[in-house]
Structure 1
Amino acid sequence: MEITHTSWEQIETERLSPLLTRQMLSGRHATVARIFLARGCQVPRHAHDSEQFSLILSGALKFVFDDREVVVRAGELIFIPSNVPHAAEALEDTWDLDVFSPRREDWIAQNDAYLRAQPGQT
């Protein structure tokens, strides 16, 4: 791997659904992603091997776990251990910075249908 210096403007933006876009960069052991979720966007329940840190840059996300719901607002951070099932809902237009380790192989391979447009979305 080589040192990479870039900007978000230079990283491809993937439109995963009408309410969700993602930019990401992966190294050998981690993935960082900048995600935009429009108000009302729902990320279905899922789990992954990666530990996840989510920093809300603007807006607010409600994370839903088996035993509780946690609202994370601009300037706040949440840590989700590996293999913990969770879902999320954008309570307002939200910019989110996620860091995952190990890296998100499913995202790299575009094996992430749970994030992509669902029937009924416009």
Structure 2
Amino acid sequence: MNTLMKNVEFSKVLNLKELVSYQEGQVISRTLAQTPNANITLFSLDRNEGISKHITAGDAMVQILDGTAEITIDNNTFTVKAGESIIMPSNIPHSLQACERFKMLLTVIKH
């Protein structure tokens, strides 16, 4: 069977928060899909961990599954909590910081 999704069970109800665990002092990721035009990845970040400022070739949607993140897009900082989402436009610098530990689903769609 040739599938685009990986690292998850098919035809089963999934709780995304349970598919990635917290590790003290670390950023953990689990890729669910990766093609030339799209990436879907689960992340967990321990408190005070972050992803430094960078740009992506595609629009990136962050969906916070647990906890709270501080997300900076260009020079604007947003506090995003569990159940909330934000879109980071392509080619605009952005970064993420864990105010408290958090889990997110990141979907990047490339142009």
For 1:22, the equivalent position in structure 2 comes to 29
Q: CA deviation at 1:86?
A: 0.9
2:8 equivalent in structure 1: 7
Q: 1:46 aligns with which of 44, 54, 59?
A: 54
Deviations 1:70-111 (A, max 9, x none): 0110000001110110111001111100001129xxxxxxxx
Describe the SS at the equivalent of 1:7: coil
Aligned counterparts of 1:87 and 1:29: Cα–Cα separation in 2: 21
Unaligned runs of 5+ in 2: 10-15
How far does residue 18 in structure 1 lie from its aligned partner after superposition?
4.0
Amino acid at match of 1:7: V
Q: Which 5+ residue runs of structure 1 have no aligned equivalent?
A: 104-122
More strand per residue:
2
Using the size of structure 1 for normalisation, the TM-score is: 0.69
**Other-structure match for 1:112:** none
Which structure: greater helix fraction? 1
RMSD (CA atoms): 2.6
Paired letter, 1:44 = S
Q: Distance in 2 between matches of 1:57 and 1:49?
A: 24
Change (3 A) 1:30 1:40: same
Matches of 2:28 and 2:4, distance apart in 1: 26
Structure 2 distance, partners of 1:47, 1:3, is: 25
Give the match's secondary structure for 1:82.
coil
CA-CA distance at 1:60 after TM superposition: 0.8
The percent of aligned pairs where both chains have the same amino acid is 22
Asked if 1:99 corresponds to 2:107, the answer is: yes
Give the TM-score, by structure 2 length. Answer: 0.75
Distance 1:27 1:71, change over 3 A: same
Whole-Å Cα distance in 2 between the matches of residues 46 and 89 of structure 1?
13
Aligned residues: 97
Q: Distance in 1 between matches of 2:76 and 2:4?
A: 40
Cα distance in 2, alignment partners of residues 7 and 81 from structure 1: 28
2:13 aligns with: none
